[in-house]
Structure 1
């Protein structure tokens, strides 16, 4: 490839990445493989070497698998989407890890030290009436949408398995009063492991991040840029995690508002970073405040109390929304302070971002 700069030569980059990997410099090698893949994702040798190394760089902590997103520069935004998605601009990011899936309800309760679903309450908060009421309202939605085998949400009372109700002077099961939710296999135990937790405020997401973080490893919500880079999976300038082909039921959990159900997070193929359901499934919180002006370089920062950005679209949204650059925002309330918020919806969740903290000096 005479005349081609090595930085733009996929095969040259591949050879450089192989050398770095042989030297044990795995993270730099991952960045170079990623660059080569972005230039030519059809090169099977590059794709396989990249995938193998990214698998080696994955980290399992707290029962969650975190996939490595290499350091590098990517083009953020879209010039063919809504006005707040533009302009397309380069963003340089360091290497970080993203959770392979959004957080499930069971995982959240386990890591927070709460009673497991379907109770889903902090053990030390059982007597807090106001806070308990607001959390109970969130859990009503989770009962309907977060159970592994449920195929359609119905009245939340029917999903309150094991809860006793009174009819006259008699104590009866929920099924006798409200029926039984449709499930793939009615004999399966009720579990809440494979679908995303919903009706989550960003405050609740950050409470988990704070609980898990240490002096060596920080867990947090991703920035908008980190989320979008991860969602693109190493592809450059494409509309979706899989490329430019339109969404289909085989690629994305979307356009199923009439189904009243969420697919398991690993039901569909992952993207190029090994991340599942980056679009569709549930909207995911980011750490950034929303700016309706998009990304103008001279824009003032949005107010500190502004709405947070959500990314990815959901099972209830149309094809135009489930892109890697579409932006939405909502306000959010903290049940701990007895506040309502616009997060009370069956299609809002979150995914953890992981970064290693380098000691000062």
Structure 2
């Protein structure tokens, strides 16, 4: 695994136009795509719930005016039933993993200039050694007027010493935040925890199926009523990114279970922190799936979209975070997603795990 991290973690999301005749939401034949009953030979693991699986139309509906191009076209997918964490993995749970294994997260590891240099344009000068220190990206509320709402460098800073146990950098701690979702986690850090727990990360299709809670065409994990957003999710309230009036009770992350669960009993499927999926990111993937009819248990594209950088590898993240606002990304919608480079981390990205019946039977044996 790469032991360096990219400071510029955001990929420019390309908006692809969708032909109207490719967005016709035809009914999905459901004779062979039935929900899966919870296996009677297995107890629900502690802290998880059974997701029955079945068929949905993944992606944004035609009525969703806030949808980005990579959320379209909607397309039918089927997923088998699975177990999913009720909440995002917390600081307390991640600390138990660290204590049991001695694992060191990517944000805590020393940076190798030789490895980092391979990811940069030829001739890039070496930064001062004082800057080549372990760390992560931390949100920093800017002062004054923001002229370019997409200039994320105004509110994200590279903070030396920032990690899962020092969320704001050296000298900070997670004391008192044990039940908040763990953040500053890179993809391999999430995978390492999942494997230790005998689980895995959800696919994008599994995540979206679970988030919908049985509501196939709704925009949010609770339905279509955006007026109850402050009651249902931890997002940015006020003027992003300069003023958060904490109308929902929080400015940063919130303890898990602070907001009502969806119909499947899952908390924070909208807001709080972004969540990793196992799928590589490709803005054209949905269009490719649509041509295949009903996609059964899709695993994502074989390779990540490279764009302008041949070394770029990004995974799909879902759910939005406490920094999402209607004026900026509205990523608390079920179909919303973003790319996240695998070799970087930041202060509003975490994860939750899933387990299939076969995984649990193997673990029990």
Residues 51 and 264 in structure 2, CA contact (< 8 A), matched pair in contact too: yes
Maintained 8 Å contact 1:221/1:352: yes
Distance 2:202 2:173 in 1: 33
Residues 1:296 and 1:59: Cα distance change in structure 2 (over 3 Å): same
Deviation at 1:245, TM superposition (A): 0.5
Matched, 1:289 2:302: no
Q: Which residue of 205, 210, 216 maps to 1:230?
A: 210
Superposition pairs of residues 205-354 of structure 1, within 5 angstroms: 205-213=190-198, 219-246=199-226, 247-256=228-237, 258-259=243-244, 260-297=251-288, 301=301, 303-304=303-304, 306-319=313-326, 320-333=330-343, 341=344, 343=345, 345-354=346-355
Q: What are the Cα deviations for residues 86-137 of structure 1, in whole angstroms up to 9, with x where unaligned?
A: 111111111101101111122112024359xxxxx648x9x97559x63696
2:23 — aligned with what?
Answer: none
SS in 2 for 1:250: helix
Is the partner of 2:192 in helix, strand or coil? helix
Within-5 A mapping of 1:12-91: 28-29=36-37, 58-60=44-46, 65-78=47-60, 79=62, 80=64, 81-91=67-77
Contact 1:200/1:348 (8 A) holds in 2: yes
Residue 161 of structure 2 contacts residue 170 of structure 2 at CA under 8 Å; is this kept in 1? no
More helix by share: 1
The Cα of 1:302 is off from its aligned counterpart by 5.4
Query: Residue 77 of structure 2: SS of its match in structure 1?
Result: strand
Matched, 1:110 2:96: yes
Tell me, in whole angstroms, the C-alpha distance in 1 between the residues paired with 2:253 and 2:90.
Answer: 12
Q: Is the 8 A contact 1:71 1:93 kept in 2?
A: yes
Paired with 2:302 and 2:357, the residues of 1 have a C-alpha distance of 28
Other-structure match for 1:134 = 134
The aligned counterpart of 1:34 is none
Q: Per the alignment, do residues 230 and 130 of structure 1 end up closer, same or farther by CA in structure 2, a change over 3 Å counting?
A: same
The offset of 1:308, in angstroms, is 0.4
Q: Scaled by the length of structure 2, what TM-score is found?
A: 0.60
Q: Give, in whole Å, the separation in 1 of the partners of 2:90 and 2:316.
A: 20
Structure of larger gyration radius: 1
Q: Which has the higher contact order (CA 8 A, sep 6+)?
A: 2
Aligned-pair Cα RMSD in Å: 3.7
Contact 2:185 2:350 in 1 (8 A): yes
- Asked whether the 8 Å contact 1:283–1:311 carries over to 2, the reply is yes
Distance in 1 separating the partners of 2:232 and 2:213: 14
Cα pair 1:138 1:199 within 8 Å, conserved: no
SS of residue matched to 2:335 = coil
What's 1:169 paired with?
A: none
Partner of 1:198: 183
Q: 3-state SS of the aligned residue for 1:313?
A: coil
Unaligned runs of 5+ residues in structure 1 are 1-6, 9-16, 18-26, 32-52, 116-120, 146-154, 162-189, 214-218, 334-340
CA apart distance, 1:226: 0.3
CA–CA distance in structure 2, aligned partners of residues 128 and 82 of structure 1 = 35
